[in-house]
């Protein structure tokens, strides 16, 4: 008989505690993995951007997506599309790094569309139009025949423009 192990939290909800690699893929139980991001952390917008950038630079966009997801779920209603769009960019990069060109491109474009609502302005020091351009460019590249998976760290966007 094939046993399926399901982890549950204290309230009985499914919670996958399996270890994961740097791109968020589940690993077999007992395998060393990358420490998961704690869920439900409330950060200031500056802390969110700083932590997500650290994770993106480390080639861990799946984990950066979780940081953005916390901001989208806990932040003010008027900012939810910003954080959700950024989470979609991060998970789009995750899929592109895993070799899922179609899913990666779709999520990158969806995230870019969410950021389009911010026009050419900035949000918390992030040039949202520039991030949308980055996302659409990466989406087009990963869809090219024979493109293959991307290096998540090398392709990570700079969330904030360089301070000079």
Name all domains of the chain by residue range, CATH numbers in brackets: 45-145 (1.10.3450)
Q: What is the Cα–Cα distance from 18 to 33, expressed in whole angstroms?
A: 9
Q: Kindly state the helix (H) or strand (E) to which residue 142 belongs, with its residue range.
A: helix 128-143
Q: Looking at residue 27, what is its pLDDT?
A: 64
Of residues 30 and 123, which shows the higher confidence score?
123
Nearest to 160 by CA among 74, 51, 23: 51
Residue 11 has pLDDT above 80, yes or no: no
pLDDT tens-digit series, residues 118-136: 887 789 999 999 999 999 9
Q: Looking at residue 14, what is its pLDDT?
A: 44
For the chain, the distance separating the N- and C-terminal CA atoms, rounded to the nearest angstrom, is 62
Return the structure tokens found at 57: 């630079």
Q: Looking at residue 92, what is its pLDDT?
A: 97
Q: For residue 39, give the 3-state DSSP assignment.
A: coil
Q: Looking at residue 44, what is its pLDDT?
A: 94
Its sign, for the CA torsion 78, 79, 82, 88, is negative
């Amino acid at each position: 008989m094939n046993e399926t192990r399901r982890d549950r939290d204290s309230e009985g909800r499914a919670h996958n505690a399996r270890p994961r690699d740097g791109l968020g893929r589940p690993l077999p139980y007992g395998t060393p993995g990358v420490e998961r991001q704690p869920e439900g952390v409330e950060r200031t917008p500056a802390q969110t951007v700083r932590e997500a950038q650290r994770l993106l630079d480390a080639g861990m966009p799946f984990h950066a997506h979780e940081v953005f997801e916390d901001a989208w779920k806990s932040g003010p209603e008027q900012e939810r599309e910003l954080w959700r769009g950024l989470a979609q960019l991060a998970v789009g990069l995750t899929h592109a790094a895993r070799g899922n060109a179609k899913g990666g491109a779709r999520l990158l474009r969806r995230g870019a569309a969410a950021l389009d609502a911010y026009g050419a302005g900035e949000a918390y020091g992030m040039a949202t139009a520039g991030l949308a351009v980055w996302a659409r460019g990466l989406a087009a590249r990963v869809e090219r025949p024979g493109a293959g998976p991307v290096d998540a760290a090398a392709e990570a966007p700079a969330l904030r423009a360089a301070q000079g």
